[in-house]
Amino acid sequence: MSSSSASEFGQVNPKLATLMRVIEDNQDKMTEGEYLEAMNALCALHRDSRESTSLNVQPRQPAQPVSLFAEQPEIAPGMSQGEKVAWMRVTKFHPDPHCNRITSQAWLDAEYRVRYRMLREATEHLIAKREELLTNPEPSTCSFIARHAVGHWSMATDDDLWVCVCGYSGKTKHWKKHAESERHQTWATHRTVSRRQVEKMKSYIRDDEAGNFVSFAPYPGYASSYAPYPGGIRFYPVTQEKNEWTHPELYAGVHTQPIPTEDGRERWFVYRRNTHARAYVQ
């Protein structure tokens, strides 16, 4: 997963992008459970920010700490840690609002197959949100950025950020101004990229191809508690485009320059992306 995927969170609140970068930079120091918990919290904050923005209202400032279970009854007696976190995922991420309100006792009283199905559906919904946040647009959306971006990019809002292989970083809405700038044009005379930068892009691609695994058991640190809910889903976001530096064999010399068009708009050769389908692991 690319650290530059933080720009998606910056669509609404730049502070979320900073948090995203910190989490990604320290991912190797976290357990999978800690990483997933941090990502879940970020996704929730991002969703709340988008909803507040769409309604043109200011986020509420809580006068005092709010309990995670403020709208839920007390945890049912005898509820294991494994069942509690599975129930929490369903109440937080299931797309059916009726499932969001299920009590801990009702969860325990439900048949196993029903609990497992709800947990799978909640996990699928959570992954759908992550795919939306982390996957780059189709390359044809902006062929110039697709061919020159280091890491994640998006054009969902005017405030989305990106990094160019020439060293520039800025808002994607200004891509044409950057493409015509003296800085980029000077770099374009040689189009060379450092080995360190190339390796960085290749590492992003390796991460994309390996995919992100989300277990049905939200916190693997308590593996013994999750035996009733084995497996999970691996999804494959695209946070780095394959370009002439990461895959030179895909781009002939003629493709290192923009394609002339009748309307004068700059267009670059791009491939239609083939993405991996989700893999369900038992």
Please tell me the total count of domains within the chain: 1
Question: What range defines the domain where residue 15 resides?
Answer: 3-55+68-281
Q: Would you say 116 and 29 are in contact if contact means Cβ atoms under 8 Å apart?
A: no
Mean pLDDT by 10 residues, the chain (282 residues): 44 61 63 59 59 41 37 70 88 93 92 95 95 93 95 93 96 94 95 96 96 81 63 94 94 78 76 89 84
Ramachandran quadrant class, 151 (left: phi over 0; alpha: psi -120 to 50; beta: rest): left
pLDDT for 16: 65
Tell me if 61 is assigned to some domain: no
Long-range CB contacts for residues 19-27, cutoff 8 Å, separation at least 24: 27/1
* Residue 180, domain member (yes or no): yes
Burial 52-69 (b: 16+ CB within 10 A, else e): eeeeeeeeeeeeeeeeee
SS3 218: coil
Query: Does residue 62 sit within a domain?
Result: no
Q: Give first-to-last CA distance, the chain, whole Å.
A: 23
Q: Is residue 43 part of a domain?
A: yes
Residue 258 belongs to a domain? yes
In a domain, 63, yes or no: no
Residue 154 included in any domain: yes
Q: Which of 124, 129, 82, 122 is nearest to 102 (CA)?
A: 122
Q: For residue 177, what pLDDT is reported?
A: 95
pLDDT given at position 252: 79
Which residues, 6 or more positions from 139, have their beta carbon under 8 angstroms from its beta carbon? 146, 147, 241, 270, 271, 272, 273
Q: Which helix (H) or strand (E) holds 216?
A: none
Task: Give me the count of residues in the chain.
Answer: 282
90 found inside a domain: yes
